[in-house]
Protein backbone atom coordinates (compact mmCIF):
# COMPACT_ATOMS: atom_id res chain seq x y z
CA UNK A 1 0.00 0.00 0.00
CA UNK A 2 3.03 2.29 0.20
CA UNK A 3 2.77 3.48 -3.41
CA UNK A 4 -0.96 4.12 -3.19
CA UNK A 5 -0.57 6.04 0.06
CA UNK A 6 2.21 8.11 -1.49
CA UNK A 7 -0.03 9.00 -4.43
CA UNK A 8 -2.97 9.96 -2.20
CA UNK A 9 -0.89 12.14 0.09
CA UNK A 10 0.83 13.89 -2.83
CA UNK A 11 -0.07 17.47 -3.74
CA UNK A 12 -1.83 17.97 -7.05
CA UNK A 13 -4.77 20.33 -7.40
CA UNK A 14 -5.67 21.11 -11.01
CA UNK A 15 -2.81 22.88 -12.75
CA UNK A 16 -0.35 22.10 -9.94
CA UNK A 17 0.13 18.35 -10.40
CA UNK A 18 3.95 18.45 -10.13
CA UNK A 19 4.33 16.06 -7.17
CA UNK A 20 2.07 13.47 -8.77
CA UNK A 21 3.84 13.91 -12.11
CA UNK A 22 7.17 13.01 -10.53
CA UNK A 23 5.75 9.85 -8.95
CA UNK A 24 4.10 8.77 -12.19
CA UNK A 25 7.25 9.43 -14.25
CA UNK A 26 9.36 7.37 -11.86
CA UNK A 27 6.94 4.44 -11.74
CA UNK A 28 6.19 4.39 -15.47
CA UNK A 29 9.91 4.38 -16.27
CA UNK A 30 10.23 0.98 -14.55
CA UNK A 31 8.00 -0.80 -17.06
CA UNK A 32 7.50 1.38 -20.13
CA UNK A 33 9.63 2.02 -23.21
CA UNK A 34 9.54 5.78 -22.80
CA UNK A 35 7.89 8.46 -20.64
CA UNK A 36 7.35 12.16 -21.27
CA UNK A 37 5.58 15.12 -19.72
CA UNK A 38 3.88 17.18 -22.43
CA UNK A 39 3.39 20.94 -22.55
CA UNK A 40 0.12 20.67 -20.65
CA UNK A 41 1.40 18.58 -17.75
CA UNK A 42 0.15 15.17 -18.87
CA UNK A 43 2.49 12.27 -18.11
CA UNK A 44 2.47 10.00 -21.17
CA UNK A 45 4.05 6.54 -21.06
CA UNK A 46 4.39 4.22 -24.04
CA UNK A 47 4.82 0.45 -24.20
CA UNK A 48 5.11 -1.56 -27.41
CA UNK A 49 5.51 -0.62 -31.08
CA UNK A 50 2.43 -2.04 -32.78
CA UNK A 51 0.43 -0.10 -35.36
CA UNK A 52 -2.78 -0.19 -33.31
CA UNK A 53 -2.81 2.48 -30.57
CA UNK A 54 -4.67 2.02 -27.30
CA UNK A 55 -4.91 4.87 -24.79
CA UNK A 56 -5.46 4.37 -21.06
CA UNK A 57 -6.20 7.52 -19.07
CA UNK A 58 -6.53 8.44 -15.40
CA UNK A 59 -6.49 12.00 -14.15
CA UNK A 60 -3.76 13.01 -11.74
CA UNK A 61 -5.31 16.20 -10.36
CA UNK A 62 -7.54 16.64 -7.32
CA UNK A 63 -10.06 19.17 -6.10
CA UNK A 64 -8.74 21.93 -3.82
CA UNK A 65 -8.61 25.65 -3.12
CA UNK A 66 -6.47 28.67 -4.00
CA UNK A 67 -5.54 31.83 -2.13
CA UNK A 68 -7.53 34.75 -3.56
CA UNK A 69 -6.98 37.57 -1.04
CA UNK A 70 -5.09 38.32 2.18
CA UNK A 71 -6.99 40.56 4.60
CA UNK A 72 -5.41 43.31 6.67
CA UNK A 73 -5.93 41.10 9.72
CA UNK A 74 -3.88 38.30 8.12
CA UNK A 75 -6.70 35.91 7.16
CA UNK A 76 -6.97 34.29 3.73
CA UNK A 77 -9.93 34.33 1.36
CA UNK A 78 -10.00 31.59 -1.23
CA UNK A 79 -11.66 30.21 -4.34
CA UNK A 80 -12.58 26.59 -5.03
CA UNK A 81 -10.69 24.62 -7.68
CA UNK A 82 -13.00 21.88 -8.94
CA UNK A 83 -16.38 20.76 -7.63
CA UNK A 84 -16.48 21.07 -3.84
CA UNK A 85 -19.56 21.09 -1.63
CA UNK A 86 -19.30 24.17 0.61
CA UNK A 87 -20.71 22.12 3.50
CA UNK A 88 -17.48 20.12 3.89
CA UNK A 89 -15.19 23.12 4.22
CA UNK A 90 -15.87 24.66 7.61
CA UNK A 91 -13.14 23.92 10.18
CA UNK A 92 -11.18 21.69 7.80
CA UNK A 93 -7.41 21.67 8.15
CA UNK A 94 -5.59 22.65 4.96
CA UNK A 95 -2.06 22.87 3.61
CA UNK A 96 -1.05 25.92 1.57
CA UNK A 97 1.71 25.00 -0.89
CA UNK A 98 4.02 28.02 -1.03
CA UNK A 99 7.41 28.67 -2.62
CA UNK A 100 8.93 28.68 0.87
CA UNK A 101 7.27 25.43 1.95
CA UNK A 102 4.04 24.13 3.40
CA UNK A 103 1.88 26.35 5.62
CA UNK A 104 -0.88 24.83 7.75
CA UNK A 105 -4.23 26.57 8.06
CA UNK A 106 -7.72 26.05 9.44
CA UNK A 107 -10.88 27.11 7.63
CA UNK A 108 -12.84 29.34 9.98
CA UNK A 109 -16.25 31.00 10.09
CA UNK A 110 -18.49 32.98 12.37
CA UNK A 111 -19.18 30.64 15.35
CA UNK A 112 -22.74 29.30 15.82
CA UNK A 113 -23.02 31.06 19.19
CA UNK A 114 -23.00 34.42 17.38
CA UNK A 115 -25.19 33.47 14.45
CA UNK A 116 -28.75 34.67 14.11
CA UNK A 117 -31.43 32.00 13.72
CA UNK A 118 -31.73 32.64 9.98
CA UNK A 119 -27.95 32.28 9.62
CA UNK A 120 -27.98 28.87 11.31
CA UNK A 121 -30.48 27.56 8.76
CA UNK A 122 -28.34 28.17 5.68
CA UNK A 123 -25.15 26.63 4.35
CA UNK A 124 -22.18 28.95 4.68
CA UNK A 125 -20.76 29.59 1.22
CA UNK A 126 -17.04 29.42 0.63
CA UNK A 127 -16.84 33.20 0.20
CA UNK A 128 -18.16 33.58 3.77
CA UNK A 129 -15.30 31.46 5.11
CA UNK A 130 -11.63 32.25 5.65
CA UNK A 131 -8.36 30.47 6.42
CA UNK A 132 -6.52 31.14 9.67
CA UNK A 133 -2.75 30.60 9.37
CA UNK A 134 -1.92 32.20 12.72
CA UNK A 135 -0.65 35.46 11.24
CA UNK A 136 -1.00 38.63 13.32
CA UNK A 137 -1.58 40.91 10.30
CA UNK A 138 -1.35 41.12 6.51
CA UNK A 139 2.40 41.78 6.50
CA UNK A 140 3.12 38.60 8.42
CA UNK A 141 0.63 36.63 6.32
CA UNK A 142 2.13 37.90 3.05
CA UNK A 143 5.54 36.79 4.25
CA UNK A 144 4.11 33.28 4.66
CA UNK A 145 1.81 32.88 1.65
CA UNK A 146 0.97 34.60 -1.64
CA UNK A 147 -2.15 35.14 -3.70
CA UNK A 148 -2.37 32.25 -6.17
CA UNK A 149 -0.87 29.62 -3.86
CA UNK A 150 -2.66 26.25 -4.19
CA UNK A 151 -4.35 24.80 -1.11
CA UNK A 152 -4.84 21.11 -0.27
CA UNK A 153 -7.31 19.52 2.07
CA UNK A 154 -5.11 17.96 4.75
CA UNK A 155 -3.46 14.75 3.39
CA UNK A 156 -4.58 11.50 5.01
CA UNK A 157 -4.63 7.77 4.28
CA UNK A 158 -5.56 4.72 6.32
CA UNK A 159 -7.55 1.54 6.75
CA UNK A 160 -11.04 1.11 8.16
CA UNK A 161 -12.45 -2.39 8.67
CA UNK A 162 -12.03 -5.45 6.45
CA UNK A 163 -10.60 -4.33 3.08
CA UNK A 164 -11.89 -0.76 3.14
CA UNK A 165 -9.45 2.15 3.00
CA UNK A 166 -9.80 5.93 3.14
CA UNK A 167 -7.72 8.86 1.97
CA UNK A 168 -7.38 12.25 0.33
CA UNK A 169 -7.58 12.47 -3.45
CA UNK A 170 -8.91 8.94 -3.86
CA UNK A 171 -10.50 10.56 -6.93
CA UNK A 172 -8.42 9.82 -8.88
CA UNK A 173 -5.17 8.57 -7.43
CA UNK A 174 -6.78 5.13 -7.52
CA UNK A 175 -6.79 5.46 -11.31
CA UNK A 176 -3.17 6.60 -11.32
CA UNK A 177 -2.18 3.60 -9.22
CA UNK A 178 -4.14 1.32 -11.56
CA UNK A 179 -2.30 2.74 -14.59
CA UNK A 180 1.07 1.97 -13.01
CA UNK A 181 0.06 -1.61 -12.19
CA UNK A 182 -1.54 -2.20 -15.59
CA UNK A 183 1.57 -1.07 -17.46
CA UNK A 184 3.68 -3.41 -15.36
CA UNK A 185 1.48 -6.40 -16.18
CA UNK A 186 0.13 -5.84 -19.70
CA UNK A 187 1.46 -7.97 -22.55
CA UNK A 188 -0.14 -7.04 -25.86
CA UNK A 189 1.36 -7.95 -29.21
CA UNK A 190 0.86 -5.87 -32.35
CA UNK A 191 -0.26 -2.78 -30.42
CA UNK A 192 1.15 0.29 -28.71
CA UNK A 193 -0.25 1.03 -25.27
CA UNK A 194 -0.23 4.61 -24.03
CA UNK A 195 -0.87 5.29 -20.34
CA UNK A 196 -1.68 8.93 -19.63
CA UNK A 197 -1.89 10.54 -16.21
CA UNK A 198 -3.95 13.50 -17.37
CA UNK A 199 -3.87 17.02 -15.95
CA UNK A 200 -6.77 19.33 -15.06
CA UNK A 201 -9.63 16.85 -15.37
CA UNK A 202 -11.46 18.37 -12.41
CA UNK A 203 -11.71 21.75 -14.15
CA UNK A 204 -12.89 20.67 -17.58
CA UNK A 205 -11.29 17.38 -18.75
CA UNK A 206 -8.54 19.49 -20.30
CA UNK A 207 -5.53 17.20 -20.22
CA UNK A 208 -7.44 14.34 -21.83
CA UNK A 209 -8.38 16.62 -24.71
CA UNK A 210 -4.83 17.57 -25.67
CA UNK A 211 -3.25 14.16 -25.01
CA UNK A 212 -5.89 12.26 -26.99
CA UNK A 213 -5.45 14.69 -29.89
CA UNK A 214 -1.70 14.05 -29.82
CA UNK A 215 -1.89 10.25 -29.52
CA UNK A 216 -4.90 9.82 -31.87
CA UNK A 217 -5.72 6.38 -30.43
CA UNK A 218 -7.76 3.65 -32.06
CA UNK A 219 -9.35 2.73 -28.72
CA UNK A 220 -9.37 4.15 -25.21
CA UNK A 221 -10.28 3.31 -21.64
CA UNK A 222 -10.58 5.88 -18.88
CA UNK A 223 -10.05 4.64 -15.33
CA UNK A 224 -11.68 6.68 -12.59
CA UNK A 225 -13.80 6.53 -9.46
CA UNK A 226 -17.59 6.60 -9.31
CA UNK A 227 -20.30 7.10 -6.71
CA UNK A 228 -21.07 4.18 -4.41
CA UNK A 229 -24.66 4.08 -3.23
CA UNK A 230 -24.28 1.77 -0.24
CA UNK A 231 -24.62 4.41 2.48
CA UNK A 232 -27.65 5.78 4.33
CA UNK A 233 -30.03 8.17 2.52
CA UNK A 234 -28.95 7.15 -1.00
CA UNK A 235 -31.74 5.39 -2.87
CA UNK A 236 -30.97 2.39 -5.06
CA UNK A 237 -32.43 4.18 -8.08
CA UNK A 238 -29.87 6.96 -7.47
CA UNK A 239 -26.91 4.58 -7.21
CA UNK A 240 -26.97 0.81 -6.74
CA UNK A 241 -23.17 0.42 -6.77
CA UNK A 242 -21.63 -1.18 -3.68
CA UNK A 243 -18.12 -1.40 -2.31
CA UNK A 244 -16.59 -4.84 -2.67
CA UNK A 245 -18.82 -5.99 -5.54
CA UNK A 246 -16.39 -5.19 -8.32
CA UNK A 247 -15.41 -2.40 -10.70
CA UNK A 248 -18.14 -0.50 -12.50
CA UNK A 249 -18.39 -0.68 -16.29
CA UNK A 250 -19.94 2.57 -17.45
CA UNK A 251 -22.73 2.56 -20.04
CA UNK A 252 -23.25 6.32 -20.14
CA UNK A 253 -22.32 9.43 -18.15
CA UNK A 254 -24.32 12.56 -17.33
CA UNK A 255 -27.47 11.19 -18.99
CA UNK A 256 -25.60 10.95 -22.29
CA UNK A 257 -23.83 14.31 -22.14
CA UNK A 258 -20.64 12.48 -21.16
CA UNK A 259 -19.25 9.33 -22.72
CA UNK A 260 -21.62 6.82 -24.26
CA UNK A 261 -19.53 3.67 -24.17
CA UNK A 262 -18.87 2.15 -27.58
CA UNK A 263 -20.74 -1.18 -27.94
CA UNK A 264 -17.55 -3.05 -28.86
CA UNK A 265 -15.69 -1.78 -25.79
CA UNK A 266 -18.65 -2.59 -23.56
CA UNK A 267 -18.86 -6.10 -25.02
CA UNK A 268 -15.14 -6.74 -24.53
CA UNK A 269 -15.18 -5.54 -20.91
CA UNK A 270 -18.28 -7.52 -19.93
CA UNK A 271 -17.14 -10.67 -21.77
CA UNK A 272 -13.72 -10.47 -20.11
CA UNK A 273 -15.26 -10.05 -16.66
CA UNK A 274 -17.49 -13.09 -17.18
CA UNK A 275 -14.76 -15.31 -18.64
CA UNK A 276 -12.17 -14.39 -16.00
CA UNK A 277 -14.75 -14.52 -13.17
CA UNK A 278 -14.09 -10.90 -12.24
CA UNK A 279 -17.00 -9.38 -10.32
CA UNK A 280 -18.37 -6.27 -12.00
CA UNK A 281 -21.19 -3.77 -11.77
CA UNK A 282 -22.90 -1.62 -14.39
CA UNK A 283 -22.92 2.16 -14.02
CA UNK A 284 -25.43 4.55 -15.60
CA UNK A 285 -24.69 8.09 -14.41
CA UNK A 286 -27.08 11.03 -14.37
CA UNK A 287 -24.33 13.47 -13.38
CA UNK A 288 -20.57 13.59 -13.61
CA UNK A 289 -18.13 12.91 -16.42
CA UNK A 290 -14.70 11.32 -16.83
CA UNK A 291 -11.84 11.83 -19.26
CA UNK A 292 -13.69 9.39 -21.49
CA UNK A 293 -16.22 12.13 -22.32
CA UNK A 294 -13.54 14.12 -24.13
CA UNK A 295 -11.41 11.31 -25.51
CA UNK A 296 -14.29 9.72 -27.39
CA UNK A 297 -15.11 12.90 -29.34
CA UNK A 298 -11.49 13.68 -30.24
CA UNK A 299 -10.63 14.06 -33.94
CA UNK A 300 -12.87 11.64 -35.89
CA UNK A 301 -14.04 9.89 -32.71
CA UNK A 302 -12.44 7.21 -30.52
CA UNK A 303 -14.28 4.07 -29.32
CA UNK A 304 -14.01 4.55 -25.56
CA UNK A 305 -15.04 2.82 -22.36
CA UNK A 306 -14.79 3.66 -18.66
CA UNK A 307 -13.86 1.37 -15.78
CA UNK A 308 -14.49 2.94 -12.38
CA UNK A 309 -13.87 2.06 -8.74
CA UNK A 310 -16.96 2.62 -6.54
CA UNK A 311 -16.13 5.21 -3.88
CA UNK A 312 -17.93 6.78 -0.93
CA UNK A 313 -17.72 10.50 -0.18
CA UNK A 314 -16.14 11.56 -3.49
CA UNK A 315 -14.83 15.13 -3.56
CA UNK A 316 -14.54 15.17 0.21
CA UNK A 317 -11.48 15.35 2.49
CA UNK A 318 -11.54 11.54 3.00
CA UNK A 319 -13.09 9.12 0.52
CA UNK A 320 -13.57 5.39 1.11
CA UNK A 321 -12.97 2.50 -1.30
CA UNK A 322 -12.51 -1.27 -1.28
CA UNK A 323 -9.09 -2.61 -2.19
CA UNK A 324 -10.67 -5.63 -3.89
CA UNK A 325 -12.50 -3.32 -6.33
CA UNK A 326 -9.24 -1.54 -7.17
CA UNK A 327 -7.37 -4.80 -7.79
CA UNK A 328 -10.22 -6.21 -9.85
CA UNK A 329 -10.28 -3.04 -11.97
CA UNK A 330 -6.62 -3.58 -12.76
CA UNK A 331 -7.21 -7.24 -13.58
CA UNK A 332 -10.20 -6.42 -15.80
CA UNK A 333 -8.28 -3.92 -17.94
CA UNK A 334 -5.16 -6.11 -18.20
CA UNK A 335 -7.22 -9.10 -19.31
CA UNK A 336 -9.40 -7.06 -21.71
CA UNK A 337 -6.64 -5.27 -23.63
CA UNK A 338 -5.64 -8.19 -25.90
CA UNK A 339 -9.24 -8.25 -27.15
CA UNK A 340 -9.05 -4.75 -28.66
- Hey, which residues are catalytic here? 201
| Alpha-carbon distances of 262 from 121, 193, 195, 220, rounded to whole Å | 46, 19, 20, 10
The span from the CA of 171 to the CA of 198, in Å, is: 13
- Quick one: which of 5, 12, 322 has its CA closest to 197? 12
Asked if residue 302 lies in contact with residue 217, where contact means CB atoms within 8 angstroms, the answer is yes
Residue 172 vs residues 9, 19, 122: alpha-carbon distances, Å = 12, 14, 31
Dihedral, 86, 88, 89, 95 alpha carbons, nearest 10? -130
**Which of helix, strand or coil describes residue 82?**
coil
Residues in the chain: 340
Amino acid sequence: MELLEKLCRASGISGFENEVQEIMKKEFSKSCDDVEVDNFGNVIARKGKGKKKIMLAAHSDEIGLMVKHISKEGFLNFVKIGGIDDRILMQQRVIIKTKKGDVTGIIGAKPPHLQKEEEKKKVMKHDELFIDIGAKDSDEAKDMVAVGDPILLEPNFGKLNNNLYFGKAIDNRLGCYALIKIMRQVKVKDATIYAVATAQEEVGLKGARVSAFKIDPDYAIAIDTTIAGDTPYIKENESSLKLGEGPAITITEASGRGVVTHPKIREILVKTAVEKKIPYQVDVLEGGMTDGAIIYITRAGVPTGVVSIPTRYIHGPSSVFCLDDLNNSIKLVVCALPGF
